[in-house]
Structure 1
Amino acid sequence: MGSRLAGKRVIVTDFREYNGADIAALFEEEGAVVFADDRDLTSPSAADDLVREVGRVDILIANLATKFGFAQAVDQPDREMVRLMNAIFYPLHRLTRAVLPQMLERKCGKIVVVGSSAAVKGRKGGVALYGAARGAQFGYMRNLAQEVAPHIQVNGTAQTYVDNQTYWPQAYRETEDFRQRLAEVPAGRLGTGRELAQSVLFLAGPESDFLYGHILPFSGGWITS
């Protein structure tokens, strides 16, 4: 067991989606007190309720995810646009707004956005709305990082091709489309949840004290900068 996060109180949201469980497990190994939460954060009051229940929060891991269907932009209705923003972007601001007062008072804190490469590198296949919601996360994160520097570090990951059932269900991995997509990845495989969690740990730990508004690509070489 390590001690890089010894005694730190950490919220990990959407615990059962994306790579929330992997992040929580590694952080606990590193000595953190982890509040792994899976409540519906689309309610406007949910973020405030969560932070009030936890109390002191040293690190916020905004692991926000929702399943979606691939569809061309011309076929996407407004309700899907609203649903994705409600699940992916709006909770980020509400969570941040809830934890910032105590972090600013202590002049210490970390916020990590577990984001997606869909906001960094475009591709065809019907992910325009999803990419837009993820892009909103990064736009918010980069500006927020400037607001709260130097005492609070806000950074994020741009991940894809990482083993999780939210976006890479087992049935899809058996398709030709998956094999063709994986062929585009220099690593030639999906990254493990633990590998992703290690990148989040880097951004949540003391090693990121000099980073503000950075996006760490985590994609097996599919994104290089």
Structure 2
Amino acid sequence: MNASDQRIDTALRSLAGKRILLTHADRFMGPVLVEVLREHGAEVIADTDPLLDADAPARIIAAAGHLDVLIAALAIPAATSSAVDAGEDEWREAFAAMVDPLPRLFRAALPPMIARRSGKILLMGSASALRGMKRASTYSAARGAQLAYAQSVGIEVAPHNVQVNAIAQNFVDNPTYFPPEVQANPRFQERLQREVPLGRLVGAREDAEFAAFLCSDAANCFVGQIFPVCGSWVPR
């Protein structure tokens, strides 16, 4: 193997030996993340619990054992109610699924990482919190709470050599928010051309490869960061 091949092999095995727990692994970015992370050499624990039970996060993390990385991917289909029509049930459902599990996961995962001064948590979030969007107030509020929490904790635990960061994505190919029937809709295709300079969705593997990088030792310098992945769509 020549030097160039060795560098490529090293890049492809950037997560070799790392144990990664991925939540909501059967939805959102879960399936492609499992595939890409394993290609990079990680041992992936793909959990599909909805995490609505308050005790579930601690139970799942305890069962997983040693973790180098926790990927907190939490998702439900976005409600499209107007602000005046969004009721209590819609609000509670969004926060119960996407916000409430987050501190429970962090409280369970962080102590051993802090104790050994090594570990990462990556939140798979949404850029809907970074730009006002019509008929998305409940969803955007929940996603915004996620980002604020991850950013704050990331700064808090950085002195312990634990890195917490978030991906805030939009216009990324995934079955939860952009299923095939949505992508085939001419109105949606026109929207891509109008709102996304890239002119297309970010590929699922493109997003997953970036997540893999943030899980690797090469990303140890990033703490409390929110990385927009939006097909060159710039939040404003």
TM over 0.5: yes
**2:80 aligned with 1:34, yes or no?**
no
Give the structure 2 partner of residue 181 of structure 1.
191
Give the structure 2 partner of residue 61 of structure 1.
71
Could you tell me which amino acid in structure 1 is paired with residue 27 of structure 2?
Answer: E
Contiguous gaps of at least 5 residues in structure 1: none
Give the structure 1 partner of residue 120 of structure 2.
110
Deviation (angstroms), 1:179:
2.2
Deviation (angstroms), 1:224:
6.2
Deviation (angstroms), 1:121:
1.5
SS at match of 2:44: strand
- CA contact 1:81–1:129 (8 Å) conserved in 2: yes
Give the structure 1 partner of residue 3 of structure 2.
none
Give the structure 2 partner of residue 204 of structure 1.
215
Distance in 2 of aligned mates of 1:142 and 1:175: 36
Deviation (angstroms), 1:188:
0.7
**2:6 aligned with 1:6, yes or no?**
no
Give the structure 1 partner of residue 144 of structure 2.
135
Per-residue deviation, residues 124-150 of structure 1 (Å, max 9, x unmatched): 2x1111010000011101110121113
Distance in 2 of aligned mates of 1:188 and 1:180: 9
SS at match of 2:166: strand
Deviation (angstroms), 1:177:
3.4
SS at match of 1:74: coil
Q: Mean Cα displacement is larger for which, 185-194 or 167-176?
A: 167-176
**2:126 aligned with 1:145, yes or no?**
no
Coordinate RMSD, CA, aligned: 1.4
Distance in 2 of aligned mates of 1:58 and 1:102: 10
Distance in 2 of aligned mates of 1:213 and 1:223: 20
Distance in 1 of aligned mates of 2:229 and 2:128: 12
Deviation (angstroms), 1:173:
2.2
Give the structure 1 partner of residue 233 of structure 2.
222
Distance in 2 of aligned mates of 1:127 and 1:178: 17
Structure 2 residue corresponding to 1:21, chosen from 25, 31, 35: 31
Per-residue deviation, residues 74-121 of structure 1 (Å, max 9, x unmatched): 100011111101111111111111111110111100000001010111
Deviation (angstroms), 1:166:
0.3
How many residues align? The count is 224
Distance in 1 of aligned mates of 2:86 and 2:217: 42
Structure 1 residue corresponding to 2:180, chosen from 167, 170, 178: 170
Question: Runs of 4+ in structure 1 displaced over 6 angstroms?
Answer: none
Whichever of the two has the greater Rg, that structure is 2
Structure 2 residue corresponding to 1:191, chosen from 192, 202, 211: 202
